[in-house]
Structure 1
Amino acid sequence: MARDRILLVGAAYQDIILDVPHFPQEDTKLQVRNLVRRWGGNVVNIARVLRALDDNLDIHLVVPLPSESTSKEFLEFCARINVTVSPLFSDATEFPVAYVTRSLDRNTRTILNYSNVPQFDQTTIQHVLDLISSHEYSWLHFEGRTPEFLEKCLDAPEIASKVNVSLELEKPDRLWLLPLASKVSTVFSNCEFLRKVHRPDWNADFRERCLSFLNSGVSPNCFITSGSSVTFGSVAGDPVFMPIEKVSSKESTGAGDSFAAACIYYLMRNAGGTEETVRFANLVAYQFLESKDNDISSSSGSSDTLNSERMPIPCDFAERLRN
């Protein structure tokens, strides 16, 4: 049986997560309660979750990176989880960093990104097209970043003819990516992006915004996370809203990416319709967040809640995510 091959195109970061009792005022000092470092970014998180779900997937990453020596630890991490990297090295000597400062009293976060790595350009486009020409991919996923790069890729015959192509639309300051949502088979977004899409004075709730977004000409396969109590999904235009199980972990970085990874996996296997897909993705995102606790056994999910009816989640899923 041929292995499913997936191509993920986006940026890689080192996430540095700082827990503070409250957000500091200007010109003050504050003691950090806890510090966590891990590799992140949309496509890196998706790769981690896909690998934890299935050892047999052939996962390829295309990411702009600093120099080869600076990227050594990241490449070792990818090799450890058996993810193939097609690196685009540059002369940069610092790895991109995302500083995530989380306020413990309000359970909110502020993210500061730093990167001097050159982003996607014509060389990257040709690199991606060459990979697609030389491999048979079951799924292509693009992080929503540079519009010129994405437009040229999605309009290329090598990609336009592919059935399974997904796009991440989550950054509220990237509304110029919205026209590309009709050029892919699946779109992943969130409530922050939707608030920017609609006029600011429209006092609509999450459900109204989701349905309006779905009917605006985007792909009929559309998934939107709210970050709180409910997620939205549509497979072939069939909309479903589903509650989210409350998690004990207060750190939500990467939750939307884990949800997207589960949707990709479920849709790629043609395992079910909208309700089954969203339920499975919610369960995977739940386990992704719970796996961040120091003690895996503290997870509140029983063996019954770790599996969807049609697509089992590996019983050691949380342990796999720690690799």
Structure 2
Amino acid sequence: MKHLILVGACYLDTILTVPHFPKEDSKLRATAVQVRRGGNCPNSLEVLAHLLSAGPHRPNVKLHLVTCLPDAQAAATSKILSSFGDGSENAIDFSHCLYRAGNEEPASSYIIRSGETGSRTIVNFNDLPEMTGSEFEKIADAFAEHGKGDGCWWHFEGRIPETTFRCIRYLRQAMPESTISVEVEKPNREGLIELAAEADVVFYSRSWAESRGYTSPEVCLKAQATSSRASFMLCTWGEQGAGALLLPSREYIHHLATLPGDRISVVDTIGAGDTFIAAMLYGLHVETWSSEARLAFAVGLATKKVQREGFAGLVP
């Protein structure tokens, strides 16, 4: 059995849908409000759990979440963990989460979603103590001690780069057979390039690429490849789909989200990038798929996601 461990923040999202984005110092009535669990890695794990239990292939993969949560007895913690559902054999393992004793409130995101444009503006608040490098090392050691080290794939959200860099370096030393992937998402976050240089698989966001002056996925990936050890690099580009670069061959492939002339109805873009990553991590564990098939599957599932609310029914 292989182990896929996702390391990143878990949030409780409050989503306000409004007719249009409000002007500063104005009053606006929301048309809908929704509270649901969020966070890049938890979202990806929810999609992965569905794929492993109902997807077109059933790779033998066990899912794990490493994140900071409130006190184990807090109501918010119970709500977050129960939100994943899925009682299948591929249920997510939460035993390596870090429960912050005495903290009752989870990390929170407040999301304003515009009905006019489909865009969303996110404000985060997190008062939980962040994971430290030494805490992560104990988690990694626990996998190694149980003989799981060689079959591990570690995926990092790419937040708090200094700590994440220490985590990756530790894995390279203690568990050299592990595969490591990382997200490079937030523009202007220092240290992400250094993280990407240490990973085997890298996911770049369009917003990060454009903040660096790149005008397409291909331009971004080929520029970043010069300083990376990765064998596979990907960059999403919204309605234009995503591109992938295979190394060391430098073969570039691209898959469009829609065919020219096609139109889709965008309902909910929150979690589209997380869905793409989940679908790609799933595809990378389907040994019979080509790189083209994996990219097409990930783009297709992310495109399907933006046309529905949340993740329910995303996987048949």
Q: TM-score range by the shorter chain?
A: 0.7 to 0.9
Deviations 1:196-234 (A, max 9, x none): 334xxx7x4454233323344352311111122221112
**Which residue is 2:5 aligned to?**
7
- Show structure 2 runs of 5+ residues with no match: 54-59
Shift of 1:27: 2.2
Aligned AA (1:191): R
Distance (Å, rounded) in 2 between the aligned partners of 1:255 and 1:188: 13
Among 48, 64, 70, the alignment partner of 2:68 is: 64
Question: Are the counterparts in 2 of residues 258 and 285 from structure 1 also a CA contact under 8 Å?
Answer: yes
Aligned AA (1:282): V
Change (3 A) 1:158 1:271: farther
Distance (Å, rounded) in 1 between the aligned partners of 2:306 and 2:121: 18
Kindly, what percent of the aligned residue pairs are identical? 27
Question: Are the counterparts in 2 of residues 129 and 158 from structure 1 also a CA contact under 8 Å?
Answer: no
Shift of 1:318: 3.8
Q: Does 1:289 align with 2:306?
A: yes
**Which residue is 1:39 aligned to?**
37
Shift of 1:116: 0.4
**Which residue is 2:93 aligned to?**
84
TM-score, scaled relative to structure 2: 0.84
- Structure 2 SS opposite 1:5: strand
Among 97, 107, 121, the alignment partner of 2:118 is: 107
Among 143, 150, 168, the alignment partner of 1:154 is: 168
Aligned AA (1:241): H
Aligned AA (2:92): V
- Structure 2 SS opposite 1:97: strand
Distance (Å, rounded) in 2 between the aligned partners of 1:274 and 1:57: 19
Shift of 1:164: 1.9
Q: Does 1:142 align with 2:156?
A: yes
- Structure 1 SS opposite 2:219: helix
- Show structure 1 runs of 5+ residues with no match: 297-315
Deviations 1:272-296 (A, max 9, x none): 33321110111221233334279x8
**Which residue is 2:230 aligned to?**
219
Aligned AA (1:88): L
Distance (Å, rounded) in 2 between the aligned partners of 1:122 and 1:231: 33
1:8-23 mapped onto 2 (5 Å cutoff): 8-23=6-21
**Which residue is 1:122 aligned to?**
133
Q: Does 1:210 align with 2:225?
A: no
Distance (Å, rounded) in 2 between the aligned partners of 1:293 and 1:132: 32
**Which residue is 2:208 aligned to?**
193
**Which residue is 1:312 aligned to?**
none
Distance (Å, rounded) in 2 between the aligned partners of 1:122 and 1:139: 18
Change (3 A) 1:252 1:218: farther
Distance (Å, rounded) in 2 between the aligned partners of 1:106 and 1:154: 38
TM-score, scaled relative to structure 1: 0.82
**Which residue is 2:252 aligned to?**
239
